[in-house]
Structure formats: structure tokens, C-alpha cells
Amino acid sequence: MTIHTDALSNWQGRRAPSLDDITQIAQAALADLPEPFAGLTRDVVVRVEDFPDQDVMTEMGLETPFDILGLYSGSMTPYRETGDMGGTVNMVFLYRRPLLDYWAEYDETLGHLVRHVLIHEIGHHMGLSDEAMHALEEQTD
């Protein structure tokens, strides 16, 4: 088997996407969401970590830290509309290493995967159906 020099030089300087890289992808995905969904996500903070912490692992009953790609933490829309948030910050946690593992296994772009996880994590907590979230994803493709 012959290895072409171009193939080596194309990959020699590249590294796996960092926490900051995933954060930038997530911020761009949030900025591209159509209204009215975008208006509901303006106060959502995105936090990217390599893996979920032990509390999340225990609460979610996960066998390994690779069993979760993202998690929404905060108040749901009905509570936000009444103003009863209790100081809760609405956050989406994205887990870099599980995302990269999933990305390596399936044929989709990292940007699409991050957007998919964001929409689903936020959408479930806003009471959107899977069909509504799928339609939203199609609007942003």
C-alpha cells in the first residue's frame, strides 16, 4: 500500500476539535435558529465539557460517560412564562468526547450533530414533539 504525501500533509497539523471549537459550533448553530424558537433560546448558556460529571452520571443512570451527548439544565418554558425561575440558569451541556465518538462512528458533519443535540435538548424542555424538532432541524439545514 502506497501512502501519498498529500494525505499525510493534509492531516499532520490537524487536531481533534477542542472545547472552544465545539462551543463556537454550538453558538453558530444557536444563532441560525429560526424564530420563534430562536427567541426562546436567547438566555440559554451553552457549556461544553469533555464528559458529564459524576452527579449527572448517577442521576441519569449512565453506565459510561459516553452514553450522553448533551443535557439541558434549567426551567421549562411554562415556568419561564410565569416568571417563576427561582434564579435557575438555562444551560445546555454538550459533552465533547461522546460527541466526537459519535461523530467518528456515523456519517454526518460535526456541525449537524452539534445542532441536532442542541435542538433536541432545548426542544424537549420546551415541550416540542420529535416531529417539531425534526422540522426545525430541516429549516436550519
Who has greater pLDDT, 14 or 19?
19
Q: Is the pLDDT of residue 138 over 90?
A: no
Q: Is the pLDDT of residue 109 over 70?
A: yes
Rounded to whole angstroms, how far apart are CA atoms 103 and 113? 7
Which residue is associated with the grid cell 450533530? 113
Please determine, looking at this structure, whether the domain spanning 21-140 carries the CATH number 3.30.2010.20: yes
59-85 tens-digit pLDDT: 999 999 999 999 999 876 544 454 554
Cα dihedral value 78, 96, 98, 29, nearest 10:
50
Share of the chain above pLDDT 70, in %: 85
The whole-number pLDDT of residue 116 equals 92
Average pLDDT of span 108-121: 93
Q: Which of 120, 125, 121 is nearest to 135 (CA)?
A: 120
